[in-house]
Amino acid sequence: MPKVKTEKKSRIHNEVQKQGIVFNKDFGQHILKNPLVITTMLEKAALRATDVVLEIGPGTGNMTVRMLERAKKVIACEIDTRLAAELQKRVQATPLQPKLQVLIGDFLKADLPFFDLCIANVPYQISSPLIFKLLLHRPLFRCAVLMFQREFAQRLVAKPGDKLYCRLSINTQLLARVDMLMKVGKNNFKPPPKVESSVVRLEPKNPPPPVNFTEWDGLTRIAFLRKNKTLAATFKVNSVIEMLEKNYKLYRSLRNEQVEENFNMQEKVMSILEEQGVSGSRARSMDIDEFMRLLLAFNSAGIHFN
């Protein structure tokens, strides 16, 4: 994949330097300064003049302004009131001002309005919850082009058997098609982060997969707890069996059904794993279809993970 180089003589509007704003490390503030990277991200998102765009962590607005020039509207979610004020000041009394809506606050706690695209240089410390907040948002958006820490991005696109394949990989790929777009070096940011970055494109599956995501997430959380162990070994852990038994009793109670006499949860779980042919499998090598069949088998037996 091509690596985007820093444009040495780029002329970038830098409100931070003018106003002497100190970056807040708690918010993961690293301003993307290379216009070539910004241009590529907008092109990969296929931004249209009729689009409403959601941006998370706009900072001083280098990418925001470029999107305002092309889109119908940009909704910028910024937790730092200082940077939000700078962004609004930057477009004040210009034709771009009516097209900008600033949401001040924590993105993870915000009620999201409708949007067509999400394009952002993501605050890296909220990467995982941010992805699932986006992918579980309704109505579905068209696609997201997002900047992440390099290793996190690699986990998103990892396949069964890959070293970095994990619960994040399979949960994301259940809900979306994920593509790695490009690598971005540290020097493309101000101040430079300690890690390398990559840009990823997420396209939500439409229609969404016919699965209760809370149940799915509960199953994969257990399976990937010890991803190098067999599922049989993982599901024999006492705390796992106790949790499933509690859920099973609640499920039967809500249906006004008695728990079968001499019912043994561990034996039932092992039996299901054997029937599905995965008792000796490891989570690191299992794909979405295998987990989907396993979840259906558990649920059909009244065993739930939420």
| Helix spans in the chain (H) | 15-19, 35-44, 62-70, 81-91, 127-135, 150-157, 167-175, 213-223, 231-235, 238-254, 265-275, 288-300
Whether 177 is in a domain gets the answer: yes
CB atoms closer than 10 angstroms to residue 289: 8
The residues, ordered by sequence, that sit 6+ positions from 233 with a Cβ below 8 Å of its Cβ are: 226
- d(CA 91, CA 126) in angstroms, rounded, equals 27
155 and 87 together in one domain: yes
Nearest to 302 by CA among 250, 242, 234: 250
218 and 193 together in one domain: no
196 and 50 together in one domain: yes
Residues 212-245 pLDDT 10s: 999 999 999 999 999 999 999 999 999 999 999 9
71 and 164 together in one domain: yes
Q: Which residues pair with 76 in a beta bridge?
A: 55, 102
CA distances from 292 to 92, 100, 212, 217, 264 (A): 51, 42, 11, 11, 24
Residues 25-69 pLDDT 10s: 444 457 888 999 999 999 999 999 999 999 999 998 999 999 999
Q: Which of 204, 227, 255 is the last residue of a domain?
A: 204
CA 254 and chain centroid, separation:
34
60 and 103 together in one domain: yes
Whether 121 is in a domain gets the answer: yes
The tally of domains found in the chain comes to: 2
CATH number at residue 265: 1.10.8.480
Whether 305 is in a domain gets the answer: no
195 and 217 together in one domain: no
Q: Which of 204, 222, 255 is the last residue of a domain?
A: 204
Range of the domain at 197: 3-204
Among 8-12, 204-208, 253-257, name the one with the lowest average pLDDT: 8-12
Whether 175 has a pLDDT exceeding 80, the answer reads: yes
Whether 306 is in a domain gets the answer: no
Give the pLDDT confidence score for residue 30 in this predicted structure: 75
- d(CA 71, CA 116) in angstroms, rounded, equals 10
16 and 130 together in one domain: yes
Q: What is the mean pLDDT of the chain?
A: 91
Helix, strand or coil, per DSSP, at residue 184: strand
Q: Which of 158, 180, 204 is the last residue of a domain?
A: 204
Whether 154 is in a domain gets the answer: yes
Whether 39 is in a domain gets the answer: yes
Whether 285 is in a domain gets the answer: yes
CATH number at residue 55: 3.40.50.150
Whether 74 is in a domain gets the answer: yes
Give the pLDDT confidence score for residue 13 in this predicted structure: 40
Asked if residue 1 lies in contact with residue 153, where contact means CB atoms within 8 angstroms, the answer is no
191 and 237 together in one domain: no
Model pTM? 0.88
CA 236 and chain centroid, separation:
30
Q: Tell me phi and psi for residue 201, to 5 degrees.
A: -110, 125
193 and 75 together in one domain: yes
Give the CA count within 13 Å in the CB-facing half-sphere of 93. 1
Mean pLDDT of 168-192: 95
Long-range contacts of 265-270 (CB under 8 A, 24+ apart): 265/241, 265/303, 266/235, 266/236, 266/241, 268/301, 268/303, 269/235, 269/241, 269/244, 269/298, 269/303, 270/232, 270/235, 270/236
163 and 228 together in one domain: no
131 and 267 together in one domain: no
Confidence class for position 289, pLDDT limits 50, 70, 90: very high
152 and 113 together in one domain: yes
